[in-house]
Amino acid sequence: MYCGVFRNFVLFGSLFKVGLRQRYLHICRVSASPFQVKMPSLSPTMEDGSIAQWTKKEGDSVSVGDVLCEVQTDKAVVALESEEDGILAKILVPEKMPNVKVGAFIAVIATSDEDWKEVAASAATLSPTTQQPKISAPPPPAVETAPKVLQPDVAASAPRDSSRIGPAVRLLLQSHGLDGAAIPASGPHGTLLKEDVLSYLTTQPSGSQAPSSEQVVVAVPSGSTPALFTDIPLTTMRMTIAKRLTQSKTTIPHGFVRSVASLDKIMDMRKQLKDRAGLKISVNDMIIKATALGLRLVPELNALADPANNSCRTQPSVDICMAVATPAGLITPILQNVDRTPVTQLSVMATNLAKRARDGKLQLHEFQGGSFTISNLGMFGIREFTAIINPPQVAIMAVGSGFPKPVDTSPTLPNKVLFSNQMSMTLSIDSRFVDQSTAGRFLSYVSRLLSEHPEILLADDPVATAALRTDSGNVFDEFDMLLLSLSTETMVRAASAP
């Protein structure tokens, strides 16, 4: 009996100790550090950005996948989603603040078991300017002194328990890259307090200041009417565009080839499609489709340059970038697989893509990549112009507006001159990888498709049809094979299809 009581007492004591130990571990559990949201890199060329809009405010609960803010990149506005659950404790970067470097802290998210207001107070010391590394002043020259015997400080050398560091202190240490063991602690039992870290930061040497120079005051002549002007700062997108265009123009040997296409048959065919089937297809849709077929016939232009290896690589799909003007700058959303897309579907895709580009609602995959670019200024009445290549692409085509050109005299009315509606196309090529004969062949195909055989553009994939129907021993060039393989019956059926 006594043995049983003793055994139960020992068992109860063991369980009591286990319970105390679990409770102690639960109380002393180290809280997770606040999550620091950084400015992301949303494109290969992005170096800095700005916050277009915060969709969450301080104190709001956030979950994984919630949109925190909209980031203005060098190309578009992209939604930034949260990667953590918690509470948005502090917004460090306000809306419209320019040139926030990639990797800079823009917000802090507190965990659910933290006091978000305390985390916000600690994070208030952070800003995009304080996140830059400090350049300390050079140390004074060493002065030789007699050696001094130092007594070891047992309290300072003792390792500090990291569990005694609160989340606010931990955030300050991580944000400023400090070692908590190097900061004197004034809390009970050697606890490092937030005031200790802030006091330590104030005692650190600030960046060296340049010697002040005497300022020269320039007298401004007084006038009856002050000059009126407006400063227009460059947006992030415009600065990136300027940088890339400067790089392209100074490193790529541009060559230029120009051709003219007649729009008479295209205008007649568009009218027939509208009257018979109610289809509304723009001239620009036809130009994009003809360009895609030309790239299939001349794949040397559907390529991306690799200057490091002195080569270029042809692309398996024809993905055309179309230049769209937006209030923030020029952006080039991508139409994918244009050569295999029906022109009716292509028209809907192009309209939708251009609208979302102007609204800043493009997804990343819709403006990253592309194998060829078309820039069309015809709607502004520009007859012809040259465009700068968008690297790593090897070519870009500039399309002008239509203009009347006298072509012949009327056989019945000798004094009447007949006019044709013409359109200029200027091709800019990277002369390292594309020669002018190849560029001329490409422009010739595009011009003939638009001027002579626009009905071919209504077929889904006429190039694939030509490859199946044409004998491999044919001596004609690519365009002749395309024309021979497509019978007149096929063209008429495609032209009259709804």
- One-character DSSP codes across 348-412: HHHHHHHHHHHTT---GGGTS--SEEEEE-GGGT---------TTBSEEEEEEEEEEEEEEE-SS
Among 169-173, 275-279, 307-311, which is the least confidently predicted range? Answer: 169-173
Quote the pLDDT of residue 492. 46
Tokens of 222: 């007084």
The CATH number for 253-496, chosen from 3.40.640.10, 3.30.70.1290, 3.30.559.10, 3.40.50.720, is: 3.30.559.10
Give the model confidence (pLDDT) of 212-266 as tens digits: 445 555 555 555 566 688 888 887 778 888 888 999 999 999 999 999 999 999 9
Quote the pLDDT of residue 407. 82
Give the model confidence (pLDDT) of 436-482 as tens digits: 999 999 999 999 999 999 989 988 777 655 554 444 444 345 666 66
Query: Is a pLDDT exceeding 70 seen at residue 98?
Result: yes
**Measured distance CA(180)–CA(189) in Å, rounded:** 15
Tokens of 305: 């340059």
Select from 312, 388, 366, 301 the least CA-distant residue to 339: 301
When the pLDDT of each residue in the chain is averaged and rounded to a whole number, the result is: 78
Tell me the mean pLDDT in the region 263-276. 91
What is the DSSP annotation of 410-426?
Answer: -SS-TTPEEEEEEEEEE
Q: Are strands 372-376 and 320-322 parallel, antiparallel or unpaired?
A: parallel
Per domain, the residue ranges of the chain are 35-130+163-197, 253-496
Tell me the mean pLDDT in the region 204-218. 51
- Topology of 35-130+163-197 in CATH? OB fold (Dihydrolipoamide Acetyltransferase, E2P) (2.40.50)
Query: Is a pLDDT exceeding 70 seen at residue 129?
Result: no
Give the model confidence (pLDDT) of 238-251 as tens digits: 888 888 899 999 99
Query: Is a pLDDT exceeding 50 seen at residue 417?
Result: yes
**Sign of the alpha-carbon torsion through 471, 473, 474, 477:** positive
